[in-house]
A and B are shown apart, each in its own frame.
Chain A
Amino acid sequence: MKTMLKNLAVGAVAALGLASLSPVAKAEDPIRIGSFLSVTGPAAFLGDPELKTLELYVHQLNENGGLLGREVQLVHYDDSGDASKARTFVTRLLRQDKVDLIIGGSTTGATMAAVPVIEQARVPFISLAGAETISTPVKKWVFKMPQSDRQAARRVLTDMRERGLTRIGLISGTGGFGASGRNVTLEEAKAMGIEVVADETYNPKDTDVTAQLTRIRNTDGVQAVLNFDFGQGPAIVTKNYKQLGIELPFYQSHGVASDSFLKLAGDAANGLRLPATALLVADTIPDSDPQHGVVTGYKKAYEDRYNSSVSTFGGYAYDGFQLAVQAIKQAGSTDPAKVRDALESIQGYVGVTGTYNLSAKDHMGLSYDSFRILEVKDGHWTLVE
């Protein structure tokens, strides 16, 4: 506490001239990886596992001799889910800390606020946020790890078609995630020749959706139901679905692909399917699966270190960091342009989220089948072959 107060006093004095914020740069500097994540605030469930993952693997890398014979340093700031803060911290990372590469942006808002600053500074940036706008159209310096919701929709619809289900009911939340999911589902369904015969929405704060579900059930010829949303809404939909005794095949989106959803929905979740990354079934994934090694390795390392279970979001940070390391190795330096080119050329990197094939036209690099279809059986995720 005492040193903190002292630091504060020093900070206050320095504030007058802003002088204390000056950079220190030397020839044999460590490799500096910058990061801005939403570790506190409403998006902390994203930022917290992401930061823990980065810290874990930066530490591990340094234990093993660093990168290109140099130490790797993680410079991290918490944007607490505020885009305006994210922008300032990114400016600080670029202009003040002079980082060689940035991994961060837990939320789409934080990422998009940072993009113009990063594009101008010409430093490679690996975003951990999901929205399609981040990588479409392609931005020269911006890469992104998670699949888009369009790919989730396509994965679900593909599974439905394989089961011969072509007339479906859609129920989505009116929040950002649900509304965007609804749009892409409608578009993809049209392209794939699947008919959306019922299209219902609910407010994310609703505590009962039986009215909407009843309308879907009473629609002629409906063969399956998809719920596109995240948060507590899907748990309520799932429970109501069970209460109404609807027997149609039921799908959820990747938005609820976490153990906490199983806890919320309880028994009602049994039998439903959703698209998710292999990380969720790390315990049961067959040895022959190409992702087996990386998924079990990450899960074990993370859970041994932090004593809490892994999440998909930490997985994005894992993949982002490994891709960054691979690109820097390949470039043989931290020259931003070379690292960027190396990132863009990475093919066949098998990560916990999927297999990345990056190119000049695709800065996300995952195909829709990197999503696995999981089914809930007896309160556990199981892989559907």
Chain B
Amino acid sequence: MKEARAMKKNILISPYGGLLLLALILALMPLAVSNDFHYDLLTKICLTATVAVGLNLLVGYAGQVSLGHAAFYGAGAYASAILTSQYNLSPMVALLSAAAGVGVMAWLVGRPILHLKGHYLSMATLGLGVIAAIVLNNEEQLTGGPDGVGLPPLSLFGHELSVFGEYQFAGLTFTGVELWYLLAAAVLVIAVLLALNIIDSPLGRALRALHGSEIAAQVAGVDTAKYKLRVFVISAVYASVAGSLYGHYSGFITPTVASFEHSIELITIVVLGGMASTFGVIIGAAILVLIPQFLTDFQELEMVVFGAILMAVMIFLPRGLLPSVLQRLQRGAQ
């Protein structure tokens, strides 16, 4: 009994065991769903979680709060939209160029603003987010303005993947919706794998040192500015890729993808799921995508209930959902 418990604990705590568990859950999800709407939610959860996993590297591990992360998500989505529909690039090329472009943008912006600390950094990233939203709303020839812009379906290696198509593989018929879910799930698993590697690398250790105390880290010889910038760029690229994919998935985007509200939603996911817990933020993403669907009966109260949940989590589970629960399990096991 004790051994079984210990094993369970190890699977949950060891990061790569967690990755296997995640892949297993994602692979088994189709058994639990019954229609396209459920697949739509699952796909959204996976893409949102991908952004959150990237943002968590910055916020959870390095302790640098970004209140403008939707800007990178929006930039990725819009870059894909513009490059595919106005410059006729193939979606994959557009996605990669967008990610590279957003990476450069994050690097350029990050260099000056990451010198700021605490609230000042939050304010600067907030400003970045607001600027992105204004640009997307006003540069109408390019972005279509507040009414939004359409995107063609994604194509992978010359094969189009439309949400509305049907595809044959090895004698089995898949709908576009199912394949999109599998793609988003695969992207999430890769995103988590990369994040776990980063956390385990010298960069990850430097970031945690930085989170603990920036001065102490500097004294110990950690080039904090370099590492902060690096993780900022990485998390921006995560957001960009997820944004591009979401754009192709939905086929139509509006500037709300880069809005301040969306940035807040992303940071909420990280805090709610558990800072510095890669699997926690995935749970956070799932909750944030699902909550509006469960609260449709109390439309006017949605924000109130949502706020109450956040407050309750902060008061009773201050480290976020997953870390706090794991901590209790651990205590129980001992």
Look across to chain B and name the residue whose beta carbon is closest to the beta carbon of A120.
B164
Majority secondary structure, B binding face = helix
Contact between chains at B164 and A116 (CB < 8 Å): yes
Contact between chains at A78 and B299 (CB < 8 Å): yes
Look across to chain A and name the residue whose beta carbon is closest to the beta carbon of B290.
A15
- Contacting A at CB under 8 A, from B33-57, are 33-38, 40-42, 44
From B254, B292, B298, contact of A109 by CB (8 A): B254
From A4, A23, A39, A108, contact of B147 by CB (8 A): A108
Look across to chain A and name the residue whose beta carbon is closest to the beta carbon of B29.
A18
From B35, B287, B298, contact of A96 by CB (8 A): B35
Known: A40-B299, A179-B140. A113 touches B148 (CB 8 A): yes
- List A contacts of B137 (CB < 8 A): 175-176
Contact between chains at A83 and B296 (CB < 8 Å): no
| Interface 0/1 of A80-91, CB less than 8 Å to B | 011111011001
Which segment of B61-69, B186-194, B245-253 sits at the interface? B245-253
Q: A219 contacts the other chain (Cβ, under 8 Å)?
A: no
Q: A8 contacts the other chain (Cβ, under 8 Å)?
A: yes
- Contacting A at CB under 8 A, from B190-225, are none
Contact between chains at A81 and B150 (CB < 8 Å): no
Known: A11-B294, A15-B290, A87-B250. A21 touches B148 (CB 8 A): no
Contact between chains at B146 and A113 (CB < 8 Å): no
- Contacting B at CB under 8 A, from A4-44, are 4, 7-8, 11-12, 14-15, 17-19, 21-23, 39-40
Number of residues on chain A facing chain B (CB within 8 A): 44
- List A contacts of B287 (CB < 8 A): 15
Q: A131 contacts the other chain (Cβ, under 8 Å)?
A: yes
Cα–Cα distance between A99 and B150 once the two chains are bound (Å): 26
Q: B138 contacts the other chain (Cβ, under 8 Å)?
A: yes
Contact between chains at B305 and A8 (CB < 8 Å): yes
Q: A174 contacts the other chain (Cβ, under 8 Å)?
A: yes
Contact between chains at A174 and B138 (CB < 8 Å): yes
Q: A316 contacts the other chain (Cβ, under 8 Å)?
A: no
Known: A19-B32, A39-B299, A174-B138. A4 touches B305 (CB 8 A): yes
Give A121 Cβ to nearest chain B Cβ, in Å: 9
- List A contacts of B318 (CB < 8 A): none
- List A contacts of B147 (CB < 8 A): 107-109, 112, 131, 133, 176
Q: A92 contacts the other chain (Cβ, under 8 Å)?
A: yes
Q: A190 contacts the other chain (Cβ, under 8 Å)?
A: no
Cα–Cα distance between A109 and B251 once the two chains are bound (Å): 12
Look across to chain B and name the residue whose beta carbon is closest to the beta carbon of A92.
B37
Look across to chain A and name the residue whose beta carbon is closest to the beta carbon of B259.
A82
Known: A4-B305, A109-B256. A176 touches B250 (CB 8 A): no
Q: A95 contacts the other chain (Cβ, under 8 Å)?
A: yes
- List A contacts of B241 (CB < 8 A): none
Look across to chain A and name the residue whose beta carbon is closest to the beta carbon of B146.
A176
- Contacting A at CB under 8 A, from B150-205, are 150, 163-164
Contact between chains at A7 and B297 (CB < 8 Å): yes
- Contacting A at CB under 8 A, from B284-334, are 286-287, 290, 292-302, 305, 309
Known: A17-B32, A18-B33, A40-B299. A92 touches B293 (CB 8 A): yes
Contact between chains at A91 and B257 (CB < 8 Å): no
Look across to chain A and name the residue whose beta carbon is closest to the beta carbon of B34.
A22
- List A contacts of B299 (CB < 8 A): 39-40, 77-78
| Interface 0/1 of A271-298, CB less than 8 Å to B | 0000000000000000000000000000
Look across to chain A and name the residue whose beta carbon is closest to the beta carbon of B250.
A87
Contact between chains at A83 and B34 (CB < 8 Å): no
Q: B15 contacts the other chain (Cβ, under 8 Å)?
A: no
Q: B145 contacts the other chain (Cβ, under 8 Å)?
A: yes
Contact between chains at B164 and A81 (CB < 8 Å): no
Cα–Cα distance between A19 and B163 once the two chains are bound (Å): 23
Cα–Cα distance between A113 and B250 once the two chains are bound (Å): 7
Give B298 Cβ to nearest chain A Cβ, in Å: 6
Contact between chains at A116 and B252 (CB < 8 Å): yes
- List B contacts of A83 (CB < 8 A): 148, 250, 252-254, 256
Cα–Cα distance between A112 and B305 once the two chains are bound (Å): 30
- List A contacts of B34 (CB < 8 A): 22
Cα–Cα distance between A180 and B138 once the two chains are bound (Å): 12
Look across to chain A and name the residue whose beta carbon is closest to the beta carbon of B300.
A40
Q: With a 10 A CB-CB cut-off, give which of A7, A95, A115, A131 has the most chain B CB atoms.
A: A95
Look across to chain B and name the residue whose beta carbon is closest to the beta carbon of A134.
B147
Contact between chains at A179 and B145 (CB < 8 Å): yes
Contact between chains at B40 and A91 (CB < 8 Å): yes
Q: Which 8 A-B pairs have the closest CB atoms?
A: A11-B294, A109-B254, A176-B145, A95-B37, A176-B146, A83-B254, A109-B148, A108-B147
Q: A84-B253, A95-B36 are in contact. List 17 more A-B contacts (CB 8 A).
A: A8-B309, A15-B287, A15-B290, A18-B33, A21-B37, A21-B293, A40-B299, A84-B257, A91-B36, A109-B252, A112-B147, A113-B251, A116-B252, A120-B163, A133-B147, A176-B145, A176-B146
A-B contact pairs, 22 of them (CB 8 A): A8-B294, A8-B295, A11-B290, A18-B32, A21-B37, A39-B299, A40-B299, A40-B300, A77-B299, A78-B296, A84-B246, A84-B250, A84-B253, A94-B37, A95-B35, A95-B40, A109-B146, A109-B148, A113-B254, A133-B147, A174-B138, A175-B146
A-to-B contact residues, CB < 8 Å: 4, 7-8, 11-12, 14-15, 17-19, 21-23, 39-40, 77-78, 81-85, 87-88, 91-92, 94-96, 107-109, 112-113, 115-116, 120, 131, 133, 174-176, 179-180
